Amino acid sequence: MLTMIEQKVNILSPKVLKTADAVCFTSNGIIKSGGELVMGAGIAKQFRDRFELIAERFGALVKSQGNHVYFLKFMEPPNDVDYRMIWIVSFPTKHHWRNDSDLELIKQSANELMTQLNNAPFIKTVYLPRPGVGLGGLSWEKEVRPAIEKILDNRVIVTSL
């Protein structure tokens, strides 16, 4: 089996958004009183600021079905006149936004992502920011990579800057 690919690239760059079938944001399981998924910092905030109604749409899924991997289609905001639909994927790393990331939840999310990809042959490439690092508090080299590299295959491109 081929393993995940690692790339130094901004997950929201035009290069990625024009070539990827799907892009992931790392998420948590907390819903605001208005029904929106909490997306107040890090990569989640960048996605919230870029894609209209993302917090509401993912919030409804998390509220009704729990903190899992979900695929939703969004219109990529236009740069000049060029735009397209793209799959946006939640990738839970935290139960609560205040806490550090949970390595077991990251492994669960990696398995859920692969199950979804196996049921969606039209999705050939998915970009995923390094889950659980940065605001998540985990080490990529010592904790996260060893936990997920045997789960994710070469359809998944793990990004860092």
Under a CB-based contact definition with an 8 Å cutoff, are residues 113 and 152 in contact? yes
Residue 110 structure tokens = 């990696």
| CATH T-level assignment (fold) for domain 5-160 | Leucine Aminopeptidase, subunit E; domain 1 (3.40.220)
pLDDT digits (tens, 9 = 90+) for 99-121: 999 999 999 999 999 999 999 99
- Segment among 3-17, 52-66, 78-92, 95-109 with least mean pLDDT: 78-92
Residue 75 structure tokens = 């219109």
* Domain segments of the chain as ranges: 5-160
> CA end-to-end span of the chain, whole Å?
26
